[in-house]
Structures are given as structure tokens and as C-alpha cells.
Amino acid sequence: MWFVRSGSLPFVAQAGSGCISSEVWKRFSTGRSRGAGLAGTARTRRAVRPGRRPGQGGRLVNEDPKVKPSRSCGPERGVGRQGPACGPDDPRRGGDAVGAGTSPTDIPEHRPKGGERRSRFITVSGREIAPVYGPDDIAGLDYDRDLGRPGEFPYTRGIHKTMYRGRLWTMRQFSGFGTAEQSNERYKYLLRHGQTGLSVAFDFPTLLGYDSDHERARGEVGRLGVAVDTLADMEILFKGIPLDRVSTSMTINAPAAVIWAMYIAVAEKQGVPPEVLNGTIQNDILKEYIAQKTFIFPPAPSMRLITDTFAFGTERVPKWNTISISGYHIREAGATAVQELAFTLADGFEYVRAGIEAGLDVDAFAPRLSFFFNSHIDFFEEIAKFRAARRIWARAMRERFGARNPRSWTLRFHTQTAGVSLTAQQPENNIVRTAYEALAAVLGGTQSLHTNSMDEAMALPTEKAVKIALRTQQILAEETGVANTIDPLAGSYFVESLTDRMEEEAQAYFDRIEALGGVIAAIEKGFFQREIADAAYRFQRQVQSGELSVVGVNCYVESEPGRIELLKIPPEVEKRQLERLREVKARRDPGRVRAALEAVRERARSKENMMPVFLEAVKAYATLGEIIGVLREEFGEYQEPAIF
């Protein structure tokens, strides 16, 4: 049991969730007796669907036997979204109200007599947490072996000696929508307001290698991100943005090599040589098979394209991160923190093996491998995850893969706050969630950070929302003092114990994956998919039972939905994009395009690097869909097995 006070009005609450609807305040002041329904949550990206939480909700407990609680129900605005309580056994019931006409001052004050307010305390991943941690919990910890100083092996405390005292993390807001012109305007807006790096979001047709005029692209052009069909779109996308002075991250996977070729070609048109370009392509196909599902080709040719980018980048674009090994999408699909950690690093090991098998020196390509993690709402669990990731990676690269260059041992990562933690209900609360998640990322030692906007549970962000998200990072960096010292939580009994447990549990997953024959074999057997599905189901049950609280969804619910301005992508966007695509096709040299596409076909049939022919094809203004179409014919398309 726990006490909630407002001025001099004490009352007692008892709940699985430990939360109380804000509607109770209205009942105290108005005498209304309806209970507030609690909305459920859907663990999906971009949307948290309103629903109702069954029975086990937060309850107001009035222990004065003279006052009988009322359980009346009736019509009320907002019932369709968050219906009122209708009785003690009604599955919609979210709380029992104090009886009508009861004055708050008549409610006696009650104090807990020992005990704890919940039967068990768990993280958002379902990990049980002890009441207190002490020396026994880290009895086996050796400072030099397990922690070390920042910038020193095993990098648990950070990959740089000075960390944010020397340089702040890169503030990189993921952005892109509509046409290239619209996205270019947003990039310039963000740069004017202090963003220090770009991050490009592409629409679904682009992610899947289709041109905007393909039948499967109808209704999707420019919706999820920016539409890029040809080099002409990429030229507009970065018009007026000096590519020698800004780093750019591009979230693209199956067609990543072709999109990267377009970026390199745009830079050349600006007079910027490949050698000075800074940035990242996501290029992580394994997590697509596991979680996000924007794959095109089977695993073998997909891995070939990735190792081709490793080799080309090492030789021609040495400052570029040729892959961003991504746990973010795995977590968004429903994975726990330790699953995100283990599955992401397992993918990383698979890419290292592939590079070595392709004849590359591990120390030639490993320093440009980067990672991308989710920062979820459970504060300490996330910090421990980031610290464990650095330690596991450093030891594996040095001891398992024989890397000798210390830069090959360091795990550099980008972080994005958790999209699945955002709620459509009371969307302003998402500003607070994002701030805490960003703080966890910074205390965990991230190299760059995207902070989600408050409206992203419902739509792509407005300028106002994205500026608030950016200002969240800037306040964190400039006002809070968290950047003044390095890894301030080191030595915490709780954090160190949690870090150790994360590492141990990740190792158990590595052993299981190896026993299945490695990452690709485990994908084909449905291992990752089942693990994530089971974790997502457990999470949803915990939210619905009230064991995990989501403010505004299953506690502190308001009957009136929050309303904020949303960004809308008009149908005219698709029309304008199709017009530009027709114009480009009309003015390009057809003979040059045919020759370039035939070169792509011939190279696909060989074992030579694909990047040079991709560059020639995009410079001829061959479309993304035309280039990927040739590869579909040569490589085939991946068909995901049914998983039960």
C-alpha cells in the first residue's frame, strides 16, 4: 500500500500497478462515482492502440466501514476509448470510486505497517530486482579485468578517455518524409536549431527497392520517410548541405549499397571526394530477417553485398561506417533488453566472420563497424546493457577473432529512444519518457543519439515536436551536468551486478545460437522470431495485469483524449514524386542506362565487388528499382518460412 497526497487530502491506494487514475480527483471534487477505465497498450511501432485493461486495475480503497463505494456506470464521453468502470466483475473496470457525496476530509488517513507495495519488482524486460544490493553481489568483480579506466580495455566505462568532457555525443534526429524537397527543408531546420548530424528515413517503397511508380508503392510514397528513386532525388535531398562538414546516417538495408552509391555520387558533384565523407549506412540485413522484415534477397547474396561495402569502404571511403548493427528494431519488435544485447552482438560476430571469410583483414574493416541500440524506459537496465555490450564486444574481438588494433575492440554505438514506449494517450507524457531514456543513453556512453518526438506514436513528427525532442538533448548536454564526469555509476552495487548478469545471460544466448548452427541457421529455424514473440506476449500480459505500469494507459487515465497537432502527408506528394520520376526517365541517356544495368547483371554473376558498377549505374540515372530489379533476377527473393 502507498500514500498519495494532494495538499491535506490523504488517501490510500492498492493496486497491481501501483497507479491511480487522475479521474479520482474529479470524484473528490464533484461527487461523481464512476470509475475510470484503463486503456491497454499495443507493442507496435508508430501506434499505441487504445483499448481496455481487464479487472486487476488500480483501486481506491476506502477502509471506513460507514462509507460504501459506489460502482455505478453509465454513458460518458470517451467510453469508446477508455470506458468507465461498470461493476466489480466487469472486465472494463479500472478502479472503484469513493461513494457519491463523500467528502475527501471524511476519509481517514491510513499508514502502511511494513511490507512492500508489490509482490515482486521487475524491470520492463521482466527481470526481478532485489530490494537492495551490496558487496556480495559483485564479489567476483575485478576492477582492472572487468571495468578498467575509460578508453581502456575492456571499455566497460566508455570507449574514449575523455568521453563527453572532450566532445559531446552527436545529436542526430531521424528524419525524412514526403518529397526530397520537404526533407531537405527539415534537415536545414534541424541544423539551424543545433543538430550536429543528419539521419535519413526512407519510405517503404525505397526500403524494399521499388520505384515510386511501381504498383506496390501506391499509397506509400513519402509516407514513412522520403522517397528516393534516382540520383536526382538524392541531389535535391542534400542541396545546400555541405557533405564534407556533416555526417549522415542512412537507415536502409537491402538496397543499402545502391543508396550509398547515390550519396557518394552526390558528394562528388559537390566536389567532395569519398575519402573525406563521414557517416553510416545501416546495411544490417540479419536483423531484417529477425525483426523488421524489409529484406529482399536470400542471406548468401545479401551477405555478399555487405562484405562488398566493407571492402569498398576500407579502400575508398575510410571514414564511413559501412554497417550499423542494429538492436533497435529487435527491441521494438518485442525483445527484452538481454535479447536485444545478445541477438545484436551475435549478428555482429556473424558479420565479422563473413568479412574474414571474404578475405578481409579483421583490423582493416572492424574499426568501421558500428552499432545501434534502443534506450528503453527502464533506466538502470538500459545503462547496464550498454556497459555489458562494450565489454562483451571488446573481449570477443581480441580473444575470439584475434584483432590487434584497439579500435577493432571498441563498440561505437548510436542510440534512439524507445518508439514502443510512446503512447497515443496523453502524448505530452512522451516528452518526459524520452528525456529519461536519453539520460540512460548518455550515462551508458552513447556516441550519438536520436530523441523521439512526443507525437510519434501517431504520426511523423511536426517541426514543433521535433524541436522539443532536440532541445531535450541540448538541455541534457548543457544544463544537467551529466557530461561533466565519465561513467558516474561505475562501482554501484546494483549497476555492476546488473551489468554482470546481462553479460552472463547474453553468453547463454550465444551458446544456444551456436548450437543451432549460427545466426543464419537460427533465423531459418525461427529461433529469434519465437524468442521475441514470447517476450512481447509476456510484456503485454504484464501491462494488462497491471504488473507493469504505463502512465495514461493503465493508470492515471484521463477520459478525454489528448489532442495535439499532427503532421499529415497529402496525396499530392505521390503525384509530385511520380512527375519527377517521369522527367528523369525522359531526359536521361537510354543507351547509357542499358549498358550500366547490363554491367550490374554481369558483376552479380561474378565474385567481383558490386560497388563500382552501382556507382556507374546511379550516375547514369538508372532508378533504384531498375538496379534492384536486376539483382532480384540474379539473386532471387527471400521467402520467410512460416513460424509457429
DSSP string over 239-286: TT--TTS--EEEE--TTHHHHHHHHHHHHHHTT--GGG--EEE----H
Phi, psi of 224 (to 5 degrees): -85, -25
3-class secondary-structure state, position 536: helix
CB neighbour list of residue 572: distance below 8 Å, 6 or more residues apart: none
Count of all residues that appear for the chain in the document: 644
Fold adopted by 135-545: TIM Barrel (3.20.20)
CA distance 514 to 512: 5
240: Cβ–Cβ under 8 A, 6 or more apart, which residues?
184, 188
Distance CA 589, CA 586 (A): 8
Residue 562 has a pLDDT of: 76
**Cα separation, 367 vs 374, whole angstroms:** 22
29 touches 42 (CB < 8 A) = no
Q: How far is it, in rounded angstroms, from Cα 619 to Cα 584?
A: 12
Nearest to 461 by CA among 429, 427, 435, 438: 427
Concatenate the DSSP letters of all residues of 420-462 into one string.
GG--SSSTTHHHHHHHHHHHHHHHTT-SEEE---TTTTTSSPP
pLDDT of residue 140: 93
Q: How far apart are CA 146 and CA 369, in angstroms?
A: 23
Q: What is the rounded CA–CA span in Å between residue 315 and residue 274?
A: 10
Grid cell of 409 as nine digits: 575492440
Do the Cβ atoms of 64 and 37 come closer than 8 Å?
A: no
Q: Give the residue range(s) of CATH 3.20.20.240 domains in the chain.
A: 135-545
> Do residues 73 and 34 make contact, with C-beta atoms less than 8 angstroms apart?
yes
Task: Report how far Cα 580 is from the mean position of its chain's Cα atoms.
Answer: 32
Distance CA 147, CA 153 (A): 8
Measured distance CA(420)–CA(293) in Å, rounded: 17
Measured between its terminal Cα atoms, the distance across the chain in Å is: 42
- The 3-state DSSP class for residue 27 equals helix
C-alpha cell of residue 353: 566472420
Q: Which helix (H) or strand (E) holds 505?
A: helix 493-515
Chain Cα centroid distance, residue 38: 26
How many angstroms separate the Cα of 607 from the Cα of each of 255, 307, 601, 611? 18, 11, 12, 12
- Give residue 219's identity as a one-letter amino acid code: G
Rounded Cα gap, residues 431 and 414, in angstroms: 20
User: Could you say which residues of the chain have pLDDT below 70?
Assistant: 1-113, 644
Cα–Cα–Cα angle for 517, 522, 526, rounded to 5 degrees: 150
Q: In what helix (H) or strand (E) does residue 414 lie, and over which residues does it extend?
A: strand 413-417
Q: Read off φ and ψ for residue 280, nearest 5 degrees.
A: -150, 140
Residue 495 CA from chain centroid, whole number: 22
- Rounded Cα gap, residues 66 and 132, in angstroms: 40
Contact 433, 378 (CB under 8 A): no
CA distance 244 to 558: 49
